[in-house]
Structure 1
Amino acid sequence: MENKIAGFSEMSNFFNEISEHLRHENRFSLPENLQRTVDIFCEYHYKHAITIPTGGEYWRARINPMGKIDAYESSDIGAPPKGSASSGRINPPGIRYLYVASNKATAISEVRPWKGAMISVANFVLKEDVKIVDLVQDISLPASMESNSDAVIETLANDVILKSINAKYFSTPAHAHDDYAYLPSQYIAEKLKIMGIQGIKYPSVLSESGHNICLFLPDKAEFKISEVINVKGVSYTFK
C-alpha cells in the first residue's frame, strides 16, 4: 500500500505549484494534473458535506474606531455591499460572502484586537438550512474496509490531499501585504460553489474555542443584535 500512495508524500511542493500557477499564469484554470488534485479535494468533501440547520447562531466582530462607543448595526457589520468586498481567505475581490464564527470569543479573536480596544460583536441567525463543506470534521475510514483494499488506498491518498489543502490554504493566515496569498482557497471555494455547496466551515488559528464559517449567500443569515465589548487583555503563548 505504501508504494501505491508514495506519490502523495511530497504534497507541499505540489500545492505551491497551484499557488504559483494562479498567481503568474492563469487566474481561472489549472493544468490537468493540478486540477485533478483540486477535483479530488472537492469531490471528497462534497460527498461528506453537512447541513447546518435553520436557527443556528453565529457571531461577527468589528473593531470600533477611536471615539465610537455604540455598536455597529446590521449594514455596517454584516457582509460588505455588493462590489466592495476586498480579497479574503475564501472570497475573490468584489464578491461578498459573510464570515461568521461559532462563538463570541472566536469572532473577537479573528479581528486581532489589542488591550483596550472597543469591539462591536453581532449575533446572526440562519434563516434556512445551509449545505456546507466541513473542514473541521475528522472523516475516518469505515471499520468494515479491508486494510489493503483499493478503497482504503484511495481514501488515504485523498486524506493526504485534504490535510495538505486544509493546512496550506484554509488554516494558515496570509501575510497582510500579500494580495495573492488566498488565490488557491478562493479558486477551490468557487469550484465547490459551482457544485452546489453554500459555505465552508474551517478552523480558526486565532482561537482554540471555536471555528469559522464562510457563507456564500450572506442573506441566509439574519442580523439580530449587536453589543460593544471592551478588550481587557490579550494573551500569547510561545516557546
Structure 2
Amino acid sequence: MQNQDPRNTEEKRICADCINEEYLSDEIRNSGDALPCSYCSGNGTPSWALSELADRVHTAIQEHYQRTSDQPSAFDLAMSHAGLDHGTWYREGSPIQETIEELAKVSGEVAEDIRAVLDSWDLETDDSHHFEDETPYDAEAHYEEKGINPQEWEDQWQEFEFALTEESRFFNHGAADILSSVFANIHTLPAVKGLEIIQEAGPGTSHTHIYRARAFQSTEELLEAIKRPDLLLGAPPPKMATAGRMNARGISVFYGASNPDIALAEVRPPVGSKVAMAYFEIIEPLKLLNLINLEQLDFIKGSLFDPSYGKELERASFLRTLGNRLARPVMPSDQDIDYIATQAVADYLANYSSPTFDGIIFKSVQGTDDGYNIVLFHRAARVETIALPKGAEIDSGLSSSSEEELGDHYSVVEWVPEEKGTDTARKDPIAFYSTFLKFTELPDNFDQRANTLRVDTSKIDIHSVKAAKFETRKRPVERMRIANKDLRNGDF
C-alpha cells in the first residue's frame, strides 16, 4: 500500500513555511528546532519531525471528523434494487489524503506522507461502522466532518437546573461555575448580519423607549395609578415585587416590551379588566444582553488543531438555543420551580458576569414575533419622579358615556399653587409609598439608584379588555376499536 518505508517517512522533517494552517505554523515557529526541512530548501525555519505533525493530525481528525462507511446503506441497496440509483454508488466524504491536505493546508506530497505514517501505527479509533479490511488511514478510507454536538453543555445546563431546584438554592458554587463557563467572554462573540449580542440602549440608540402595561380590576386603583404613573406604573417597590421570570420575590425589576401589543399580552389581563399602558423613555445609557440576536451567533473562527476550539464550537451551538430555554412557556402552577433557573441567570448577569448587564432582551412567549420583551435589572429600573411644586395636589377621574362609540374618558388634573416657583417635593415619593401602599415611613435616602427611565404622561392609554383571543394549533384525536383477535401480546 505504501511506496516507501514508513520509518524513513517518520524521520522526515517539515518546517513552518510548508504548512499554511496558521495555528500549526505558528506553533512550529514557537517550538520547532532549526533543522533542515525535507520538503523545501529552507534551513533556518523551525521544523518538526513529521511524526509529531502526524500525531496532531490524528488528534484533530478523531475530534472533528468521522470515517464513512465503505459499503452502501440499506437505503442505498433498496434504491439500487429498485433501479433508482442509475447503477452508481458513491462513498460519502473525501479520501483521507485530501482530508489531511485540506485540514493541515499542506501539499499532496506531505499529506500522503502523513497518511503513510499514521497507517503504519496501530491506532484505536471510535468508528461506528464495521470495516473488514480497511484500516483507519488506508489510502481508500474516506472522512467527513462531524456535526457539532453541544450535548456536554446541555448536560451541564440540566445539572445547573437540578442543583438549584433540588439541591441548594442559595450559595450554590457549582451552579455559579456553570454560569461562568456558559457566559464567559460573551461580549466578544460575533453575530451574523451586523446584529449585536450586546446592545446599547438610551439616548441616541435604537432602543430609546419601553412600553409597560399593568392590569387593574379595581377602578379606584387604576385612578390612583394614573395620578402617579412614575410610582405605580413603573417597577414596584421591593415589598410589592412578586416573583417573575427574571426576578425573585422582593427584588424589583422593570418588565417592559418593545410595543404595546406585546406589553398587553404579557400581563395576561382577564376579560373585564382595565390595562394601563405607559410609555417610558430610557434617559441613561444602558447595556443589554440580546438573547434573540444570540440565536444568530456567527461561526466562531479558529483552528481545528486548537484543543479549546471544539469546545467553543459546542458552546456557541448551545448559546444559540439559550434564548428559547430562558423564554420557554411556563404554566402558572409551575412558575415557582421553573423560574428558579432564569432568576439565577438574571442575578448572575446583573451582578457577577464580566461585564455586568443592565438588562436582557428576550422573546415574548405571549405575543408575536414582531417585538420582544425587555427586563431592566434592579439597578437600572428606577423611574424619574414627576416634578411637582411643593403643595401640589392631583385628582383623577373617570366619566362614562351611554353612547358606546364615545366610551370612557379618563382625566388627571394637577392642582398647583398660584405662587411661581419650581421647588419640588423631594420627599413626595416616600410620602406616596407610605400612604398609598401603607408602608412604614421610609428614610430620605431609601433609594440611591440613578434615574434611568422617565414616564411620558402624555402617552398613557387605558385598554378595556373585552375578549381574549387565542392562537392554537389543532390536532385531531384518532380513535379506533380493534377486535380481541387482532391484539398482539397486549400491544396497541
TM-score w.r.t. length of structure 2: 0.43
Residue 174 of structure 1, CA deviation: 2.3
1:40 maps to which residue? 181
1:23 maps to which residue? 165
1:221 maps to which residue? 453
- 1:50 paired with 2:211, answer no
Report if aligned partners of 1:15, 1:165 keep a CA contact under 8 Å in 2.
Answer: no
Distance 2:176 2:364 in 1: 27
**1:64–1:42 CA distance, 2 compared to 1 (3 A):** same
Give the greater-gyration-radius structure (CA): 2
Distance 2:327 2:468 in 1: 21
Distance 1:35 1:153 in 2: 23
Residue 24 of structure 1, CA deviation: 2.5
Residue 54 of structure 1, CA deviation: 2.2
Distance 1:175 1:181 in 2: 9
**% identity of equivalent residues:** 26
Q: Deviations over 1:11-31 (max 9, x none)?
A: 655433322211232123446
Higher relative contact order (CA 8 A, sep 6+): 1
Counterpart of 1:200 (choices 347, 360, 363) is 360
Residue 63 of structure 1, CA deviation: 1.3
What pairs with 1:1-239 in structure 2 (closer than 5 Å)?
A: 1=64, 6=149, 8-9=150-151, 14-30=156-172, 32=174, 35-47=176-188, 48-54=197-203, 56-67=208-219, 70=223, 72=226, 73-137=229-293, 138-141=296-299, 145=301, 148=304, 150=306, 153-168=310-325, 170-178=326-334, 179-194=336-351, 195=353, 196-208=356-368, 209-216=370-377, 217-219=380-382, 220-225=452-457, 226-237=460-471, 238-239=473-474
Instruction: In structure 1, list runs of 5 or more residues that go unmatched.
Output: none
Distance 1:74 1:57 in 2: 14
**1:175–1:44 CA distance, 2 compared to 1 (3 A):** farther
Report if aligned partners of 2:288, 2:359 keep a CA contact under 8 Å in 1.
Answer: yes
Aligned length: 234
CA RMSD, 1 decimal: 2.8
- 1:121 counterpart SS class: strand
2:13 maps to which residue? none
Residue 38 of structure 1, CA deviation: 1.8
Instruction: In structure 2, list runs of 5 or more residues that go unmatched.
Output: 1-63, 65-144, 189-196, 383-451, 475-492
Residue 139 of structure 1, CA deviation: 2.0
- Amino acid paired to 1:158: R
- 1:207 counterpart SS class: coil
Distance 2:219 2:376 in 1: 31
- Amino acid paired to 1:43: A
Q: Which runs of 4+ in 1 moved over 6 A?
A: none
- Amino acid paired to 1:41: V
